[in-house]
């Protein structure tokens, strides 16, 4: 059975992490946040989810040029946002982003709120994105927990964690030590992405090897040690194949309506197959397209 450590020495963990961390080693898109508005940071976080960073960064620059504040985006036709989003996947995020901009203008006079609860109350903003904005835009004592961060903490404790536990433990690293939340978040994300990975723990080169309970268990009994990060809420999940999926066809329909709109259901079915009618209904329900007279479809 895994042997759980009684607690993390947060001061030690933070000291080891920050002494190891060199942001120049991974000059990732969106990491240079100085001078960015909270809106720009929110936009980057929404775009970076489930999208390659380089592709998202290019679109991010284009979006900021067109809609540098929530006011500009809220005033734009939703069809323009959806069309510009093409290539980032999960087009519902474009609809939610437009709805979010509208809500920020109406409820907060165009200024993003600086509380986690208020951010989570905006359309399309979940716990992770809200905490990312709080950490990166407002330097609040919280940490957005992704799979990398959850994996590192789970192995440090040698314990399977649910989402609530992982979030509480991550926040304690910031609140109990006073460490800069943005820097600490970047550091632990880098550790999980480059050393303490899903495929291998690589304890021999890990700066947190000494206080890590999982590493101690592996050394004590390598044949019976079980990786706690392989279970729990943040465990790696196998994604369904994209080719031939409804998600692929939905994206193709949106691209067709972006380049040639409106189109009839028959035209779209001829292009995209027999599933098209039911997918048109689903896309309309998600706010991505609208039904017009004469059985025509268009972006909203």
Catalytic annotation, residues:
45
CB atoms closer than 10 angstroms to residue 125: 23
Residue 264's DSSP bridge partners are 296
Q: Quick one: how far is CA 91 from the chain centroid?
A: 15
CB atoms closer than 10 angstroms to residue 56: 24
Backbone angles phi, psi at 290, to 5 degrees: -130, 150
Angstrom distances, CA of residue 211 to CA of 138, 185, 215, 216: 30, 19, 8, 8
The dihedral through the CA atoms of 93, 98, 103, 104 has a sign that is positive
Strand 263-264 versus strand 290-292 pairing type: unpaired
Instruction: Look up residue 12 and give its two tokens.
Output: 């030690």
Coil, strand, or helix at residue 292?
Answer: strand
Cis, bond preceding 187 (omega within 30 deg of 0):
no
Instruction: Look up residue 18 and give its two tokens.
Output: 């920050």
Is-contact 192 152, C-beta < 8 A? yes
Strand 290-292 versus strand 296-298 pairing type: antiparallel
């Amino acid at each position: 059975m895994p042997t759980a450590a009684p607690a993390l020495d947060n001061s030690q963990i933070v000291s080891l992490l920050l002494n190891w961390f060199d942001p120049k080693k991974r000059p990732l898109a969106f990491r240079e946040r100085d001078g960015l508005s909270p809106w720009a940071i929110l936009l980057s976080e929404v775009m970076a989810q489930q999208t390659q960073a380089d592709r998202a960064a290019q679109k991010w620059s284009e979006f900021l040029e067109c809609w540098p504040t929530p006011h500009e985006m809220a005033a734009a036709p939703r069809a323009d946002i959806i069309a510009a989003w093409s290539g980032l996947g999960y087009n519902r995020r474009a609809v939610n982003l437009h709805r979010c901009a509208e809500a920020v203008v109406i409820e907060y006079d165009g200024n993003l709120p600086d509380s986690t609860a208020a951010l989570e109350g905006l359309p399309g903003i979940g716990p992770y994105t809200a905490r990312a904005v709080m950490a990166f835009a407002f330097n609040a004592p919280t940490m957005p927990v992704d799979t990398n961060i959850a994996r590192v903490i789970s192995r440090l404790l040698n314990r399977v964690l649910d989402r609530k536990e992982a979030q509480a433990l991550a926040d304690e690293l910031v609140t109990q030590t006073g460490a800069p939340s943005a820097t600490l978040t970047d550091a632990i994300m880098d550790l999980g992405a480059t050393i303490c990975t899903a495929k291998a723990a690589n304890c021999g080169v890990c700066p947190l090897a000494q206080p890590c309970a999982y590493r101690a268990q592996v050394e004590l009994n390598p044949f019976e040690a079980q990786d706690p990060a392989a279970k729990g809420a943040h465990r790696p999940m196998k994604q369904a194949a994209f080719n031939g999926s409804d998600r692929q066809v939905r994206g193709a329909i949106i691209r067709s309506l972006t380049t040639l709109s409106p189109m009839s259901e028959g035209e779209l079915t001829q292009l995209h197959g027999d599933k098209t009618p039911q997918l048109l209904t689903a896309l309309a329900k998600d706010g991505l397209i609208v039904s017009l007279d004469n059985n025509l479809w268009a972006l909203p």
